[in-house]
Amino acid sequence: MLLVVDKDGHIQAVEGGAGELFGREPSTLVGLSLAELLGEECAAWWKEMQGREWRTTDPPATWTGRILSPEGGEVQFEVEWRPLVGAGSVGGLLRLRLSNPELSKLSHDSQASRPSGLSCSSCCLFANAPYAVARHRLLYDANDRPCDYLFLEVNPAFEKLTGWESSKVIGKTVRELMGDAAAPWIERYGEVVVSGRHATFEDFAQGLNRWYYVVAYPMGGDEFVVAFEDITERVQLTHERELLTKRLEHVLDATPTVITVLERQRDQFAPVWVSPNVEILFGYTPEEALVPEFWIHAIEPEDRERVLQQTQEVFRKGENWMEYRMRTKWGRLVWVQDYSRVSRYENGEPQEVIVSWTDITRRVLDAQELEENLRELRAILTTAQELATSLNPQHVAESIVRLCVEVWGARLAWLGIAEPSGYVRPLAWLPAECKYLQSIRVRHDDHPEGQGPTGRAIRSGRVQLTEDVLTDPRLAPWRDQALEAGFCTSAAFPLTSRGQTFGALNVYSDQPGFFSTRRIEVFQTFAHLAAAALQNAFLYETAQERLARLEALHSIDIAMADRVSLATPLEELLKQLRDRLGVDVALLFTYDPERHELLCSAYYGANSPPTQPIVKLGHYFAVTAAAQQRRVVVENVPEALDRFFDANWVRAEKLQWGCAVPLLRGTELLGVMEIFQRRPFQPDPEWFAFL
């Protein structure tokens, strides 16, 4: 009968017949220690065997002892122990052979009388085992040679590892499932049944396209049990590691590498020799490097636990390689490729470990830089495609600042356009909630606020770099706000197209040294690309606006030609002012030459029109436009209320900017049009031309 034992010596699963042997329900045996079940001597022997290094080709270990039967008599038994190499927490399998013929017969009868189906699983044998278990019966041909085997039962892990459902496997033969590909397995298991000895091996199942580590035990008669685990990934990794090792050996022939030899001294391995170039590569003398604690202390603390865990793999696999960081004696952090190989005595015991350390810092940094460059290049190409297809200046600007922040890691990016008034108007910025941009005013003329990086970049057409926000005197007007926002360096990149600089891309970072030479070149190149895209978008937008304004003038002409009354063309005129010029309030006054008065004939956007006519006398806003027959602009309406005939109305409407235009037929005054904005306003020449 079989017992599954974990690596701590506790029973994980038992065969149903064990319950009759020990006089207990099988499930109550799970969790007991070997000492509790088979005695201290057996447990001590097992612990000694567990401490050995096992290979899959080693024969099982055996031990003979005695236990009390349920009737109170002593029963002699033989224990056969076989570890499951690489089976995780599972230590291995114990097989009990009873010397007492009656009990042996009882055990055999209990196996023979088990019902079909998952009888072992129902008796808790391997029901919850992490590896696959299957019970089979060997079948013979007419010449009494093994030709096939039948599936009698499987555990849940079997279904998971093979992909075969138990309902579709039990009662079928392996040839029905795998065809001729099953021949090697039939031959192996036939040897197990015929010889009565267990077998362990690793093999490839062609029908399943997987590698398995297998332990097969004879159960008496023609039956046998197979326990196995999927080691496909391990085999593939081993193969890949072999390829990498060959490459590494080739590199070591031409690369300065430190070699260390460790020999076994009692229960541990200690360094006995190190190549002299350790001082050249890492700064430590050979004597310092031979101190046992040297290597552990030199490993970067964040990597230390991982490295120590991986180091144990060399004794299991015979070789191991890993990458980690070490501190040189000079304090420099370097990346090291560590390759270890174990040489063994003839009996398989480890003799020494050869370790090589290769400085791969340049390779790691180059790989990181390459990855960063590829990531940036992909982002630039994606954004460039967006810029090439977008004719919306706002969308173009937003794509540019988003790339600066989300891909290049800037703390803030904003794109500003140079206005005729001398101010730089932010067109797009990210993060959107950044308070810094709301707290500053930037110009591009000779005003003090135009002497910062943005103004200088626009005037000169050259990149302006501020390496240290704290000390650069040119950043004085904005230093407090910049430091509060966490910036320590910034740069302004001019937006130049067709030889004209019309704005700047401004980038800020909280990382000293952020603007490396390569990064400045990337930003500058992208700024040129962005400038061309923006200029195209502006030209397209201007063309669209001009077309829309021509259509608006045409609509007004049609309204005038078809008018039944004066109201029709006036309403159309006010509609176009609203749609094409974005006017908040518009008033249309007609001139009465007999009374010398301006009367409000139509209005748009006001809560109510002025209640009194404007007398054509004095210095009033509309009167000036009428008398001088020219356009009159008031930049700050609240500060010029004395220029308005109805100041209370102006105040109630909360007007900020105003413009009065005389309506003339030749030199004859027909009226005055007043337009207002409820916000500060800076119209461009195109706007006035349409007006």
Sort residue 666 into left (φ over 0), alpha (ψ -120 to 50) or beta. left
Residue ranges per domain, the chain? 2-231, 235-359, 368-540, 567-690
Identical fold, 2-231 and 235-359: yes
Task: Give pLDDT, residue 490.
Answer: 94
Q: Token pair of 659, please?
A: 């413009």
Ordered DSSP codes for 163-215: ---HHHHTT-BHHHHHGGGGHHHHHHHHHHHHH---EEEEEEETTTTEEEEEE
Contact yes or no for 140/147 (Cβ under 8 A)? yes
Distance CA 2, CA 39 (A): 17
3-state SS assignment for residue 390? coil
Predicted pLDDT of residue 172: 94
Could you confirm whether domain 368-540 is CATH 3.30.450.40? yes
Q: Which helix (H) or strand (E) covers residue 40, if one does? A: helix 40-50
CA distance 674 to 614: 12
Angstrom distance (rounded) from CA 30 to CA 480 = 72
Which residues in 185-202 are b (16+ Cβ under 10 Å) and which e? bbebbbebbeeeebbbee
Please state, in angstroms and rounded to a whole number, the distance separating the CA atoms of residues 459 and 263.
72
Tell which CATH classification among 3.20.20.70, 3.40.50.720, 3.40.190.10, 3.30.450.40 matches the domain 567-690. 3.30.450.40
- Two tokens at 17? 């017949």
- pLDDT the model gives residue 565: 54
pLDDT at 382: 75
In this predicted structure, what is the pLDDT of residue 547?
77
CA distance linking residue 669 with residue 2, whole number of Å: 116
The torsion angles phi and psi of 60, rounded to 5 degrees, stand at: -70, 155
Residue-level pLDDT at 514: 92
HSE-CB for 212 with a 13 A CA cutoff:
22
3-state secondary structure of 578: helix
Per the CB < 8 A criterion, the answer to whether 166 and 212 are in contact is no
- Measured over the CA atoms of residue 651, residue 655, residue 659 and residue 662, the dihedral's sign is negative
Following DSSP, what letter does each residue of 529-560 receive, concatenated?
HHHHHHHHHHHHHHHHHHHHHHHHHHHHHHHH
- Per-10-residue mean pLDDT for the chain, 691 residues long? 78 69 76 85 84 67 78 75 58 68 45 41 54 91 93 90 90 92 92 89 84 88 90 88 66 67 83 85 89 88 90 87 92 92 86 89 87 78 72 84 88 92 90 85 89 92 92 88 91 90 94 90 86 82 74 69 61 77 88 85 84 67 86 90 82 91 90 91 83 82
Separation of CA 243 from chain center: 29
Residue-level pLDDT at 43: 85
Question: Which class would CATH give 235-359?
Answer: alpha beta
Provide the pairing of β-strand 146-154 with 199-205. Answer: unpaired
User: Token pair of 160, please?
Assistant: 């998971």
Return the CATH fold of 2-231. Answer: Beta-Lactamase (3.30.450)
Q: What pLDDT score was predicted for residue 277?
A: 82
The predicted structure's pLDDT at residue 123: 43
pLDDT at 106: 42
CA 389 to chain centre: 29
Q: Distance between CA 110 and CA 1 in Å, rounded?
A: 10
Work out whether the CA dihedral 680, 684, 687, 688 comes out positive or negative. positive
